[in-house]
Amino acid sequence: RATRETVDFRRLSRLVAGAFSARRKKLKNALPLDAAEFAALELDPDLRPENLSPSDYLRVARFVAQRSEGSEGSEGGAGDARA
């Protein structure tokens, strides 16, 4: 049986809501990532939010969580989504 990673549902929800908050916004202006992070995630920052799949959003949310884990601590718990 494959192992599933978790992501904080609240974090994922905020990420997706932020990405779609304005019309015609590009990912580079919608997601909390810099150019190197977009490259590490193999995402084109000039794409629009609707171009990402749900699994792409999960990947970004996990990346942001890992990046900020040291400063915010773990927010796991009942709000986790499994992918």
Whole-number mean pLDDT of the chain? 82
Q: What is the 3-state secondary structure (H, E, C) of 25-77?
A: CCHHHHCCCCHHHHHHCCCCCCCCHHHCCHHHHHHHHHHHHHHHHHHHCCCCC
Calculate the alpha carbon distances from 47 to 25, 32, 81 in Å: 9, 14, 25
What is the reported pTM?
A: 0.73
Check residue 80 and give its pLDDT. Answer: 45
Per-residue pLDDT for 76 more than 80?
no
